[in-house]
């Protein structure tokens, strides 16, 4: 399987982390698990492959245009056939610019974007199927996203506030004291909680946990550090705290986890 990352145009770079093409060279069967990563994504199925995701341990076929909500637990998936998926990965808070609903409604599920945004998405999918040049496909997607931006401009101030808090969480010595974090932005913890649920889909504390997990996952994959040192570097209380949270997001302990068993997740972790 091949994964290619595409940088968005200048106007959309504040909102779109990247576009990506995910395709297989021939018919394949894949069973994998997708882990929480803090991002929401849209995926257009442009191939003949059939994708399924699990709900309560039952696998259901995913729609042709998938909206991936924020994951807070591992999501099993299966794929069969020759695959070509064209995807949009948003930043943690920016999918809200393009949707009408509160994004927390989509947590831990794959929704049909055609049902949410209607004819415009159905038309876009048809046009993507009818062109073959990647540059033309990206142009179609960017035109669609730019049109959606004008609809949600009124949310800009609040989403920008969330962006500032997220940046603080990622690049500063983040504290689990939500009151202290909120006070830096002259807002209440309750209001900060509401902003995060509305525009990222998860609470500030859960966002911090996912961010910390992703840092630890990269270190576990390198297989160069001890569990104790990873726990310390990523800000866990101790090794047992690290193991417990890692298992909640993957279904495995760090020592039992092997990236080779998760080719899809491994590929997407690198974009």
Q: Is the pLDDT of residue 175 over 70?
A: no
> pLDDT digit string (tens) for 111-147?
999 999 999 999 999 999 999 999 999 999 999 999 9
Q: Where does 2-153 sit in CATH, by number?
A: 2.60.120
pTM: 0.90
SS3 (DSSP) at 158: helix
Q: Give the confidence band of 92 by pLDDT, cuts at 50, 70, 90.
A: very high
Q: Is the pLDDT of residue 155 over 80?
A: no
CA distance 247 to 233: 18
Decide: 48 and 69 in contact? Cβ < 8 Å: no
82 phi and psi angles, rounded to 5 deg: -95, 115
With tokens 């003949």, the residue in question is 48
CA distance 26 to 107: 32
> pLDDT digit string (tens) for 197-252?
999 999 999 998 999 999 999 999 988 889 999 999 998 999 999 999 999 999 99
CA distance 160 to 243: 34
Residue-wise DSSP of 15-37 = TEEEEEEEE-SS-EEEEEEEPP-
**Cα torsion 61, 267, 57, 112: sign:** negative
Residue-wise DSSP of 98-122 = G-SS-GGGGTTSEEEHHHHHTHHHH
Mean pLDDT of the chain: 90
SS3 (DSSP) at 39: coil
Least confident of 155-164, 219-228, 250-259: 155-164
Q: Is the pLDDT of residue 1 over 80?
A: no
Percent of the chain surpassing pLDDT 90 = 68
DSSP 157: H
Residues in the chain: 271
């Amino acid at each position: 399987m091949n994964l290619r990352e595409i940088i968005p145009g200048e106007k959309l770079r504040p909102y779109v982390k990247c576009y990506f093409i995910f395709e297989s060279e021939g018919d394949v069967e894949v069973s994998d698990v997708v882990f929480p990563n803090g991002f929401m994504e849209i995926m257009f199925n442009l191939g003949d492959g059939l994708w399924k995701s699990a709900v309560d341990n039952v696998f259901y076929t995913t729609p042709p245009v998938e909206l991936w909500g924020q994951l807070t637990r591992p999501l099993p998936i299966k794929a069969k056939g020759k695959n070509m998926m064209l995807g949009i990965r948003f930043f943690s808070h920016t999918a809200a610019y393009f949707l009408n609903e509160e994004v927390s409604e989509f947590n831990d599920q794959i929704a049909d974007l055609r049902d949410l945004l209607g004819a415009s998405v159905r038309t876009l999918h048809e046009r993507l199927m009818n062109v073959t040049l990647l540059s033309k496909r990206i142009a179609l997607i960017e035109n669609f996203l730019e049109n959606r931006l004008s609809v949600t401009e009124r949310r800009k101030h609040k989403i920008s506030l969330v962006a500032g808090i997220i940046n603080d969480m990622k690049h500063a010595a983040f504290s689990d004291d939500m009151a202290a974090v909120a006070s830096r932005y002259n807002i209440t913890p309750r209001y900060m909680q509401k902003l995060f649920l509305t525009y990222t889909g998860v609470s500030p504390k859960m966002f911090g946990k996912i961010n910390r997990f992703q840092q630890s996952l990269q270190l576990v994959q390198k297989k160069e550090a001890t569990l104790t040192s990873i726990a310390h570097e990523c800000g866990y209380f101790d090794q047992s705290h690290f193991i417990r949270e890692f298992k909640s997001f993957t279904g495995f302990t760090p020592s039992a986890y092997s990236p080779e068993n998760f080719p899809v997740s491994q590929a997407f972790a690198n974009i």
